[in-house]
Amino acid sequence: MNNISENGTNIFLEQVLDSVKIGVVAFDSDHYISMVNAGLLTFESRTSCDPRFPSARTNLLYYRHCSSEGYLMKGKDFLSITDLEPDEVALMIQRARHIKETETPRPLEGKVLALIFEKPSLRTRVSFEVGIRQMGGECIYLSNADIGLGTREPEIDVARVLDRLVDGIVARVFSHGSLEILAENTTIPVINALSDLAHPCQSLGDLLTINESKGNLEGLNVTYVGDGNNIASSLALACSSVGANFTISAPGDYHVPSIAWDEARRRAAQKESLLDWVEKPQDAVKGADVVYTDVWISMGDEAEADERRRVFAEYQVNTELMSLAKSDAVFMHDMPAHRGEEVSDEMFDHPKSIVFHQAENRLHAQKAVMAELFSR
C-alpha cells in the first residue's frame, strides 16, 4: 500500500477489494467524523469489507473530496455541470444517494434563500422549496412579475440587493447571462434551476435515477432523442463525466451547442467513453440502456412550434422505437411531457418508464448540491 501525502491528507491508494479498485483516506478523527456526518463519505456495510474502505469504484479519487477543505465545487455557485470536475460528478451522485437513503443534513438552519423564477415550474419549484425546508431553511418565491429581472430592474441591482438580504439564490431564468450576472455580483451561492443553456440539477437527478435503476453508470449507453436543448447539453456533460456513453439523435440543425459538446467530448476522452451524434433515431437507440427525450418546443420556442413539429415528427419515442433498445432499457423524460409529440401516451405510462422516479430524485440531487454549497 502506497502512502501519498496531498494537501495535508494521507492517502492510501491502489487497494483492491472484491475486484473493485478503491482508495482509503486517513485523516484526523475529528475531520473523519465531520465528513461522515456531513454525508461526504459512505462506507460498505458488508462484514467482509473493512469499514474504513469507501465502497464505490469511483471513490478511488475520494482524496479529492477530503482535501484540506473537503469541498467538491471550486467556486461558490452551481451554474453548470462544468462547475464540477468529472470525478466530482460521480461523488455528487453518491452524496445524493447517501442523503436519500439515510437522513437529510441541515446546513440551512437559520438561512433564507431567494427563489427567482422567470419561468413557470412544478418539479423544480416544489423540489427546491421542500428541500430547503427539510434542510432547515426558509425561502422566498420571487416571480418575474415580482422583480422583472433585467426589465423592471437591472440584474446587477437585483444581485446587490439580494446579496445583503438573503443567504443564497436559486434562479430559473430565460438567459444564462442573467445567472452569470447574479453570480458575479454576489458573495452568496447562486444555483441554476434552469436557463436557456443548462439544467445541471436535472442532469444530476437523472444520473442518480440511472444509477439506482442500473446499479452503475460507467459503460452504460444513454441515448437522447430529440432537440439538442439545455437538457441534452447538461446530460451530455454529465454522462461524459462519469464514463457513460452518450448518443444524441437529432436533426443537424438542432444539435447540442458546440460549447457544451466540445467540453463533453473532452470529458469523454478523459473517461474513455463514447460521445456520438446519430441522425436516425432507429440507429441511435440500438443497444441503449437508457432512452431519454424532452419536449420539441421549449419555453421561448413557441414561435417555431409548427416548424419544430414538422422537423421532429420522426423523433417520437414510442414502444416501436423502444423495442430497438436493449430488452431491459428504461425510458426517461424530465417533464413536463407533450404526450403525443416527443413521446407516445403508451410509452410514457409503460412499465419501462421511470419518469416519476426521475422526478422525485430532483429533490435528493438538489439537496446534495445545497449541502455542498452551504456546509462551508
Structural domains of the chain sorted by starting position, each given as residue range(s) with its CATH number in brackets: 1-70 (no CATH), 200-355 (3.40.50.1370)
Q: Where are the alpha helices (DSSP H) in 1-85?
A: 29-37, 62-65
Cα(22)–Cα(14) distance, integer angstroms: 6
Q: Which residues contact 327 (CB under 8 A, 6 or more apart)?
A: none
Q: What Å distances lie between residue 19 and 14, 15, 51, 220, 248, CA to CA?
A: 11, 10, 17, 19, 33
Give the pLDDT confidence of 161-192 residue by residue, as tens digits. 999 999 999 999 999 999 999 999 999 999 99
Average pLDDT, the chain: 85
pLDDT at 23 over 80: no
Q: What are the counts of helices (DSSP H) followed by strands (DSSP E) for the chain?
A: 15, 12
Cα(54)–Cα(45) distance, integer angstroms: 10
| Residue corresponding to grid cell 432499457 | 329
Confidence class for position 376, pLDDT limits 50, 70, 90 = confident
What is the percentage of the chain residues whose pLDDT exceeds 90? 77
Closest CA to 148 of 160, 161, 158, 139: 158
Look at residue 81 in the predicted model and tell me its pLDDT.
98
Work out the average pLDDT over 203-227: 98
pLDDT at 34 over 60: no
Look at residue 150 in the predicted model and tell me its pLDDT.
87
User: If you compute the radius of gyration of the chain from its CA atoms, what whole number of angstroms results?
Assistant: 21
Cα(1)–Cα(24) distance, integer angstroms: 10
Look at residue 301 in the predicted model and tell me its pLDDT.
80
pLDDT at 72 over 90: no
Confidence class for position 50, pLDDT limits 50, 70, 90 = very low
Work out the average pLDDT over 40-47: 34
Which of 66-75, 140-149, 192-201 bottoms out in mean pLDDT, i.e. has the lowest? 66-75
Give the pLDDT confidence of 262-295 residue by residue, as tens digits. 999 999 999 999 999 999 999 999 999 999 999 9
| Residue corresponding to grid cell 444539435 | 255
Strands (E), 18-136: 20-26, 112-117
pLDDT at 25 over 80: no
